[in-house]
Chains A and B, each alone.
Chain A
Amino acid sequence: MLADPDKSSGHGNREPSWPVEGVRRVPFVVYSDAEVYEQEQHRIFKGPIWHFLGLEAQIPEPGCFVTLQIGNTPVIMVRDGHGEVRALVNRCSHKGTPLAIVPSGKVDQFMCIYHNWCYDLTGRMLSAAFERGVRGKGGMASTFRREEHGLQVLRVHRIRGLVFGTLNESTPPFEEYVGQGHIDNINRVCGRPLRILGQYSQRLQSNWKLYIENVKDPYHASILHAFNGVMKQDRLTMEGGIIMGARGWHHISYSKMATDSGGEVYRTAQMRSAELAEYGFGLRDRSMTEIWDDHGDGVTMTIETIFPNFVLQQLRNCLAVRTIVPKGTHESELMWTAFGYKDDDEKRTQGRLKQANMMGPAGLIAMEDGMIGGLVQKGIAGNLDKAAVLEMGGHGIEPIPGSRVSEGSVRGFWTGYRELMGL
């Protein structure tokens, strides 16, 4: 168990147990401990972070809403009567019942099913059933003030159809939080009006951090995902790199498919791809690899993460946003929303839908990500006093120019994590 961060400098029995090596070690206990999980709820999810809420395209008209979770906290994202996007904690001020009990819908106001307390789309309380009693008798106490019982409102930031929210008053402005490189890539990937193609989610039998680490780790992408390496979809021998966001907490990994060189390592090294090469494995059907350059820069893959748990994905022409939602120390839910552009013609839409075979629970590339965290969780179970070793690419979080053979972006995640958790 990790020491209480508030007491870590005290003289109690418990010592802070983050290894002295710093972020090149990750104590296994942070993936398993209930107390750590509770601390994360306060210090990270209610802390100074911007959390992804959804796409504006999900709520096209006034009254349209979707529900989501920021850590444990249930949240409603809704478009109000003036067309503004609002985010409200999904909890009636009376007894705490969720006001929206379905994943999405369209309403004029939020009425609690329990005692019919009503709120407008901005969270202002409108009325309570029998507020003035019956025939002049009973009713709310004279101390009750409707204006004191509105819903908790989140600060919201919209950018190119993506909506982020924060529960914390001290969260810095979004641009400052993520850094210019991240803004540039959002402008690039989401630069045209978005069209949602569909959604699904995955239950992962692992701590949420094992998934986000995996996303931030370009080292594994062409190794664990043999499909990637053998099919030359994304290999570390391609031109590419890592862009670190503000404070190193966020990252972008990118590559250019047309620039693969020195790829023989995938056939000759001690790697599974070398065994697979003997099969002559190759795609019979070419339609999934018939790609086009959406952004005019030859960059075929970008994975952008925003601390703590958001992913913006461009795999060739397969575009999606993902959020990993903690559901307990050993369980998380990965939410996927695939999108294209409103001005896509039918051919492009079909192309994106075919390329979507690479993502999701059945993703030719992504499938292993659904299970690897669960396996790690099993492997570390008896040794929570030990730590993971993250030394590929050095000790630091600075990107290596022109290289993605690095765990610097993973160490960047832990830099942010340690800072907010006080570990």
Chain B
Amino acid sequence: MHDVAPSLLRITEAEARKHQAAYAYTIDEGPLSDWPKFFTDPCLYRITTRVNEERKMPLSIMLCDNQAMLYDRVEAVEKANIFEPHFYRHILSDSRVLSSQDDSLVLETSFICVRSMLDGRMDLFTAGKYVDHMVKQEGRCLFKSKTVVLDHSRVDTLIAIPL
């Protein structure tokens, strides 16, 4: 690894932000099949609630720990599961870095997500924070883990599309 230029290994906050923004746009605009590409393999993607986190309860609303599971979710959402079609619009806050090393960054970012249905309805669907562990692999920023912590423990109707 010593002959790799340090700039290829180091992950900057600006790069992390860019990755985060691209992630949110991919979920909101599609294609959903690009969603797994933001993660390492293995990885950890989970949606949980603030209450479960505080009580150290391990249950997730959604849990994927490798690329195959991420793709399974995409296929299920696109082909098997039935729900009223809808779109998300994520609004992200500035991030704060919790810890950083040359090739890895742990940061959290607040979000709200607005859900719009085809019949014209729009609701504030969820609010919470991302706790992300980002790494750099082969020059690319990736989520080694992404924990979506919802501030609320009640979800309206269903979560089909990942957050």
Interface residues of A (CB under 8 A from B): 103, 196-205, 224, 226-227, 230-231, 276, 279, 281, 283-285, 287-288, 333, 338, 349, 353-354, 356-357, 360-362, 364, 367-368, 370-371, 374-375
CB-CB under 8 A from A287, the residues of chain B are 65-66, 69
8 new A-B contacts, CB < 8 A, other than A362-B62, A368-B158, are A198-B60, A199-B51, A203-B156, A276-B79, A338-B59, A356-B60, A356-B63, A357-B60
Pick from B63, B81, B84, B156: contact of A353, CB under 8 Å: B63
Q: CA of A333 to CA of B65 in the docked complex: distance in angstroms?
A: 29
User: B157 contacts A374, CB within 8 Å?
Assistant: yes
**Residue on B with the closest CB to A361?**
B155
List 4 A-B pairs, minimum CB-CB distance, nearest first: A198-B59, A198-B57, A285-B68, A284-B68
Partner-contacting stretch, out of B9-17, B19-27, B70-78, B87-95: B70-78
Pick from B79, B83, B84: contact of A279, CB under 8 Å: B79
**Residue on B with the closest CB to A226?**
B80
CB-CB under 8 A from B51, the residues of chain A are 103, 199
Shortest distance in angstroms between A205's beta carbon and chain B's nearest beta carbon? 6
Shortest distance in angstroms between A325's beta carbon and chain B's nearest beta carbon? 11
CB-CB under 8 A from B48, the residues of chain A are 198
CB-CB under 8 A from B64, the residues of chain A are 357
User: A198 contacts B69, CB within 8 Å?
Assistant: no
Given known A-B contacts A284-B71, A357-B62, A362-B62, A199 and B57 have beta carbons under 8 A apart: yes
Shortest distance in angstroms between A250's beta carbon and chain B's nearest beta carbon? 27
**Residue on B with the closest CB to A335?**
B154
Q: Is B153 an interface residue (CB 8 A)?
A: yes
Shortest distance in angstroms between B34's beta carbon and chain A's nearest beta carbon? 16
Q: CA of A190 to CA of B72 in the docked complex: distance in angstroms?
A: 31
CB-CB under 8 A from B68, the residues of chain A are 283-285
Shortest distance in angstroms between B94's beta carbon and chain A's nearest beta carbon? 28
Q: Can you give 30 A-B contacts (C-beta < 8 A)?
A: A196-B57, A198-B58, A199-B51, A200-B49, A200-B52, A200-B154, A201-B154, A201-B155, A203-B155, A203-B157, A204-B157, A205-B157, A276-B79, A284-B69, A285-B68, A285-B69, A333-B154, A353-B59, A353-B60, A356-B60, A357-B63, A361-B155, A361-B158, A362-B61, A362-B159, A367-B81, A367-B158, A368-B83, A368-B158, A371-B157
Q: Is B127 an interface residue (CB 8 A)?
A: no
Q: CA of A196 to CA of B41 in the docked complex: distance in angstroms?
A: 29
Given known A-B contacts A349-B58, A354-B63, A283 and B82 have beta carbons under 8 A apart: no
User: A361 contacts B157, CB within 8 Å?
Assistant: yes
Q: CA of A349 to CA of B79 in the docked complex: distance in angstroms?
A: 29
Q: Is B114 an interface residue (CB 8 A)?
A: no
CB-CB under 8 A from A374, the residues of chain B are 157
Q: CA of A16 to CA of B69 in the docked complex: distance in angstroms?
A: 53
Interface size class for chain B? 35 or more
Given known A-B contacts A201-B153, A203-B155, A276-B80, A283 and B72 have beta carbons under 8 A apart: yes
CB-CB under 8 A from A338, the residues of chain B are 59
CB-CB under 8 A from B52, the residues of chain A are 198-200
User: B81 contacts A368, CB within 8 Å?
Assistant: yes
Q: CA of A367 to CA of B153 in the docked complex: distance in angstroms?
A: 16
CB-CB under 8 A from A368, the residues of chain B are 81-83, 158
Q: CA of A205 to CA of B84 in the docked complex: distance in angstroms?
A: 13
Given known A-B contacts A200-B155, A361-B159, A367 and B62 have beta carbons under 8 A apart: no
Pick from A200, A224, A364, A371: contact of B76, CB under 8 Å: A364
Q: CA of A197 to CA of B81 in the docked complex: distance in angstroms?
A: 25
Q: Is B47 an interface residue (CB 8 A)?
A: yes
Q: CA of A288 to CA of B76 in the docked complex: distance in angstroms?
A: 14
Q: Is B160 an interface residue (CB 8 A)?
A: yes
CB-CB under 8 A from A103, the residues of chain B are 51
Pick from A283, A361, A371: contact of B61, CB under 8 Å: A361
Given known A-B contacts A197-B57, A279-B79, A357-B63, A203 and B154 have beta carbons under 8 A apart: yes
Given known A-B contacts A285-B66, A361-B159, A362-B47, A197 and B58 have beta carbons under 8 A apart: yes
Q: CA of A357 to CA of B55 in the docked complex: distance in angstroms?
A: 20
Residue-wise interface mask of B (15-57) relative to A, using a CB-CB cutoff of 8 A (1 in contact, 0 not): 0000000000000000000000000000000011101100101
**Residue on B with the closest CB to A355?**
B63
Given known A-B contacts A284-B72, A364-B76, A367-B81, A202 and B63 have beta carbons under 8 A apart: no
Shortest distance in angstroms between A330's beta carbon and chain B's nearest beta carbon? 13
